[in-house]
Homo-oligomer: A and B are copies of this chain.
Amino acid sequence: MNAQPTELLRQTQELSDSVTTPILGSKKAYVDGSRPDLRVPMREIALSETPKMFGSAEPNAPFFVYDTSGPYTDPTANIDLAAGLAPLRASWIAERGDTERLTGLSSEFGRSRETNAKLDAVRFGHRPLPRRAKAGMNVSQMHYARRGIVTPEMEYIAIRENQRIEGIREAHLLRQHAGESFGAAIQKIITPEFVREEVARGRAIIPANINHPEIEPMIIGRNFLTKVNANIGNSAVSSGIAEEVEKLVWSIRWGADTVMDLSTGKNIHETREWILRNSPVPIGTVPIYQALEKVDGRAEELTWDIFRDTLIEQAEQGVDYFTIHAGVLLRYVPLTAKRVTGIVSRGGSILAKWCLAHHRENFLYTHFEEICEIMKAYDVSFSLGDGLRPGSIADANDAAQFGELETLGELTKIAWKHDVQTMIEGPGHVPMHLIKENMDKQLAVCGEAPFYTLGPLTTDIAPGYDHITSAIGAAMIGWFGTAMLCYVTPKEHLGLPNKHDVREGLMAYKIAAHAADLAKGHPGAQARDNALSKARFEFRWEDQFNLGLDPERAREYHDETMPKEAHKSAHFCSMCGPHFCSMKITQDVREYAETHGVAETAALEQGMAEKAAEFRAAGAQVYRPE
């Protein structure tokens, strides 16, 4: 990065303006909690009234949806990317009294970056000094939960998860199919106490590093809304800091619940700082990527000390969860030799290479309890990595993959012994009929710790469309119980996603997550479908667009065929044109059913039932041509 300070500042200043736009048809609303500094953001979608032709004209109440987009979509927020977001949770963290602000960075690497004048041009300018747990203290949300404490984070999450469905008065919006949750403990209303219980028993995590006070707390667990993660990050061959920050804001605009910074290119440390300070969602990383950069890509030169320093460096920046590939055991590695695509996880192959080079057990496994000590001092959550996940349909559900999963189950129990929040990463490439086995096995061996899966991709044959091959698997595994779905973009296997790919990937995954919530029977999940379908049926075009996952795209597509403003209130569409309309006929049916009344309708049904009986008796004869 040879940009002058002014160059990056200029870029981020420009970005500060361009990323600050409300979502079409929505405004930011806040729901107040029990304390003045607990205000939970939602997106409020104003709806127009039902036209008279559908009975009496009646207003439709505004609809509230979960909002991941942070202050960027709040026109009253003062966004300056170079200054970062306001530290929403700062007082919550401070008042717990179990942390202290350090006088300097604890990691060697962090300190070396601080004092390197060459980095002035790319360094984020407003870095606070980090906090750490006081000696002997454990500051994880799990630790609080297990001691019976309902934190402000937990209350925030309860309000957020409910999406104000308790405020919905229209019975037709609350109609919902009974779901099939495969044994999940789905609640009608999420209470702060339920959040606490789920975190205490390890069935959910709240990724919330004490050094990332900017986050709007969220939860990952199968008894909550299914979440979506977006991966961003540069590589050796592409992309600068401003671009990554833009991808972050773009990700949350389109619904990312968490974002992973997978940078492997230049200035990883500085890029991460920019991302963290501007992120209202939890940020995950794969620390081994950066550790590898520190040994110039030579996996065999990795050491526990280098890795440990990296963990502390990142924990003090505020990373909320770490992917740790501690389940890649030496004995599993040869099991991948006959695979079609071997080891495709970057982290997995780094560790495999290290294990083979030294003929020793994975140092993340042997140092696992030391890692736990670091995690609990900052409340970093584990995302136990699936370094041996299948990279092709052929390799799905094999001995290497499931061997590792069992080890991750053992490690989960160790993490829980330390009250360290833990989720488990999952595959990969899996044909549809083998997906459920993954979920069932994960639930069984990992004690219901949240599952966090990449896809899975249900076929290998569509490079360029792997957001779709994988959205199919993601929707299914989400239904079966996966708590968070890691998106895949159309560029998967081909290149790094740009911001447009990020949007495509997120849309596919928001669909998968919501389809999963519907199938599980998550309370209130269907309300948005009902509201949108009612708008569609009533030709409230603007409402249909605005209730959708991507109001801009929907409007754009509609306007391609019928661009005129008047068409937005037209009671027809380009599919059938103005002369005939299915929706309109349904209105006739309703009027018919009403005019003829319940008695006649019942009689009609009765009469026809007799006719059908007659038909069955006579065989097909009744159908003789007239």
Q: How far is the CB of A273 from chain B (nearest CB, A)?
A: 22
Interface centre among A264, A494, A498, A623 (most CB of B within 10 A): A494
A242: interface (CB < 8 Å): no
Of A431, A491, A495, the most chain B CB neighbours within 10 A belong to A431
Residues of B with C-beta under 8 A to A594: 337
Given contacts A341-B537, A514-B459, contact A465 B507 (CB under 8 A): yes
How far is it, in angstroms, between the C-alpha of A608 and the C-alpha of B361 when the chains are bound? 9
Q: A391-B533, A549-B461, A576-B264 are in contact. Are A589 and B356 (CB under 8 A)?
A: yes
Q: Which of A123-131, A144-152, A172-180 has 4 or more CB atoms under 8 Å from chain B?
A: A172-180
Task: Please give, as numbers and ranges, the residues of chain B lying within 8 Å of A549 by CB-CB distance.
Answer: 461-462, 464-465
Q: Closest CB-CB distance, A236 to chain B, in whole Å?
A: 3
* A593 partner residues in chain B, CB cutoff 8 A: 334, 337
Interface size on A, residues (CB 8 A): 146
Whether A431 pairs with B626 at a CB distance below 8 angstroms is no
Within 8 A of B (CB), among A343-381: 343-346, 348-350, 352-353, 356, 366-370, 373
**A346: which B residues are within 8 A, CB to CB?**
575-576, 580, 582
> Distance (Å) between the CB of A178 and the closest chain B CB?
9
Q: Mark A587-613, 1 if CB is under 8 A from B, else 0.
A: 111101110100001001101110000
User: Quick check: A585 and B299 within 8 Å, CB to CB?
Assistant: yes
Interface segment among A184-192, A443-451, A556-564: the answer is A556-564
As for how many copies of this chain the complex holds, the number is 2
- Interface pair B615/A236, CB less than 8 Å apart: no
Most chain B CB within 10 A, of A352, A413, A463, A507, is at A463
Closest B residue by C-beta to A586: B342
**CB-CB contacts below 8 Å: A446-501 with B:** 458-465, 467-469, 471-472, 475-476, 479, 490-491, 493-496, 498
User: Separation in Å of the A465 CB from the closest CB of chain B?
Assistant: 5
* Residue contacts A-B, CB under 8 angstroms, 29 given: A179-B431, A236-B576, A237-B562, A330-B604, A341-B534, A341-B583, A342-B585, A352-B589, A356-B592, A391-B536, A392-B533, A413-B620, A432-B476, A432-B519, A459-B514, A459-B529, A460-B530, A462-B514, A463-B532, A463-B544, A464-B550, A468-B468, A468-B511, A471-B472, A491-B557, A494-B561, A495-B562, A495-B575, A496-B561
A495 B558 Cβ-Cβ under 8 A: yes
Query: Within the assembled complex, what's the spacing in Å between the Cα atoms of A220 and B271?
Result: 54
| A579 contacts B by Cβ under 8 Å | yes
User: For residue A574, which residue of chain B has the nearest CB?
Assistant: B495
Residues of chain B lying within 8 A (CB to CB) of residue A337: 589-590, 592-594
